[in-house]
Amino acid sequence: MEYKTVQFDASTNEVIERVSTSDEIKENKKLQSEIEAIEIAKETKASAKSALLIKLGITEDEARLLIG
């Protein structure tokens, strides 16, 4: 599979499309993995929060009232 990099020069409105270097591909894959890890962490936190609210038998608004 061939990866492409698109660059835009705002001063000339020129769009340059070229084949990505191996370093760019590695960096993009690394960043994508980090994004996926962050999304999984957010989903896990949201699930834990929902489970706790259900366990306590209160709504999110009621929890906010208790905290602050």
pLDDT digits (tens, 9 = 90+) for 27-49: 999 999 999 999 999 999 999 99
Structural domain of 17: 4-67
Residue-level pLDDT at 15: 96
Q: CA-CA distance, 46 to 38, in Å (whole number)?
A: 12
Q: Is 0.85 topped by the overall pTM?
A: no
Look at the chain and report how many structural domains it folds into: 1
Residue 1 pLDDT > 90:
no
Percent of the chain with pLDDT over 70: 100
- 3-state SS of the chain: helix, strand, coil percent to 5? 65, 20, 20
